[in-house]
Amino acid sequence: MKKAFRYRIYPNKTQQALLQATFGCCRFIYNKTLAIRKTAYETDKTKLSEFDLTKKIKLLKEEFPWLRDVPAVCLPQAVGDMDDAYQKFFKSGNGYPKFKTKHRSRKSCRFPSSHCAVLQDTSRLKLSKLGLVKYKKDREFVGILRHIVVTQESDGKYYASCLVETGVESPKPQPVEASTTVGIDLGLKDFIVTSDGHKIPNPRFYAIIDRRIARLQKHESRKQKGSKRRARIRLKINKLYVKKRNLIKNYIYHVAKTLLRESQTLVMEDLNIVGMVKNHKLAKSIQNVCWGELRRVLEYKSKWLGHNLIFIDRWAPSTKTCSCCGFHNSMLTLSDRSWTCPGCGTQHDRDVNAALNIKRMGLEKLLPAVSGFDGRGEGGYDFDEASICAV
Ligand SMILES: [Zn+2]
């Protein structure tokens, strides 16, 4: 099982300058090889492989001698990144790889395991050409180092992400049992509502940060472009953005941990977040609550723990169906927070009812033998009575 360990690093002045140059050269190689590949294809339909493009680095070094000043091992890695983006474009239909820009793109470079090491005893990283770099050892790891990615965040801090092969196999997924399954409804009023009635509120702390950012942006717009004062305010803004992101990340990790601790199987909707963000009315709050991030964290954490994560169709009618009898209430509007089922008379909380339906649909998907309803109006299906094992 591979795990990434991310540490804050403290390069000295010389190392910082070298890292900045390396970020620049990696960006340059990424853009150059992407352009070469594009032109080759457009002129005579030649398809250049990653290997062909890596060989071009030698020619580029002759043309641009400053490429020799940075760790040589990082440059082929940049070609690899470009190739990954290119392959993804073909496989998943993502957009065509974009050229990186100095100010907008992430500043990063990667060191393969043959040219880097983590010296945990002395809290130093050994990186090719940079030498020893101090890092903050907030946790130790056991395993084989695969590579180190060095990045600089927009607030100016440097980090090293170490990918480690831990040698521990991830546990086999536990059988799905109805009694330990929880349905999750993602909402705007509450961040999450679970089928057993727990409500996790939306994180609101970032509203203060948003206000501060807005105020600083106003100051920034009054300063002359390219001036030192403007740059100083920009850095302050970037620091706030990073702070906000970290707070949200922290919150999401906390939520994921709680959810996984309390249940063996989680069922959630397969939301189209990109599509929803296009809806501008909802856009800001959806982006803020970061469902995509929650999904990502749940996906890998459940794999580590041997838990099950089931996705149901995003168009499934989870909200308007009665979780007791299956009555379809088409009169329900977005403002109805609670309703009484005309079919069986059950009083429903809108979100808990949706979460119960999501749980039922998830179980049905895995265990087709389980039918959610005995028929309209004939009482509900009691999940806790059934204990079904899936293969
Ligand atoms: Zn009903």
pLDDT > 50? residue 390: no
Q: Which DSSP string do the residues of 292-328 spell out, in sequence order? A: HHHHHHHHHHHHHHT-EEEEE-TTS--SSB-TTT--B
Interval 203-215 mean pLDDT: 86
Q: pLDDT per residue over 227-248, tens digit each?
A: 999 999 999 999 998 998 888 8
How many angstroms separate the CA atoms of 150 and 74, rounded? Answer: 10
The pLDDT value given to residue 387: 32
As a residue count, the chain comes to 391
Output 36 or 174, whichever has higher pLDDT.
36
- CB contact at 8 A, 152 and 357: no
How many angstroms separate the CA atoms of 356 and 193, rounded? Answer: 10
Q: How far is the CA of 350 from the centre of ligand 1 (A)?
A: 13
- CB contact at 8 A, 385 and 361: no
Q: How far is the CA of 360 from the centre of ligand 1 (A)?
A: 14
**pLDDT confidence tier of residue 223, bands split at 50, 70 and 90:** very high
**pLDDT confidence tier of residue 382, bands split at 50, 70 and 90:** very low
Q: pLDDT per residue over 243-299, tens digit each?
A: 988 888 898 999 999 999 988 999 998 876 656 656 666 555 655 557 788 888 999
Output 165 or 172, whichever has higher pLDDT.
165
The pLDDT value given to residue 248: 86
Q: pLDDT per residue over 319-358, tens digit each?
A: 888 988 888 888 888 788 888 988 888 899 988 999 999 9
Q: How far is the CA of 342 from the centre of ligand 1 (A)?
A: 6
Just list the catalytic residues: 185, 269, 351
- CB contact at 8 A, 346 and 324: yes
Identify the residue whose tokens are 């641009």.
64
C-alpha distance across the termini of the chain, in Å:
23
Q: How far is the CA of 328 from the centre of ligand 1 (A)?
A: 8
The pLDDT value given to residue 328: 87
- CB contact at 8 A, 152 and 11: no
Q: How far is the CA of 340 from the centre of ligand 1 (A)?
A: 8
The pLDDT value given to residue 278: 61
pLDDT > 90? residue 13: yes
- CB contact at 8 A, 259 and 184: yes
pLDDT > 80? residue 198: yes
Q: How far is the CA of 326 from the centre of ligand 1 (A)?
A: 6
Interval 81-91 mean pLDDT: 90
Tokens representing 104 are: 């907008």
Q: How far is the CA of 312 from the centre of ligand 1 (A)?
A: 22
Interval 365-382 mean pLDDT: 48
Q: How far is the CA of 348 from the centre of ligand 1 (A)?
A: 9
Q: How far is the CA of 179 from the centre of ligand 1 (A)?
A: 22
pLDDT > 80? residue 204: no
Output 376 or 336, whichever has higher pLDDT.
336
**pLDDT confidence tier of residue 375, bands split at 50, 70 and 90:** very low
The pLDDT value given to residue 119: 95
Neighbours of 301 (CB within 10 A): 16
Mean pLDDT across the chain:
86
Q: Please, what is the Cα angle at 85 between 82 and 87, to 5 degrees? A: 105
Interval 360-389 mean pLDDT: 51
The pLDDT value given to residue 173: 84
Buried b or exposed e, range 311-337, using 16+ CB within 10 angstroms: bbeeebebbbbbbbbbbebeeeeeeee
Query: At residue 126, what is the residue type?
Result: K
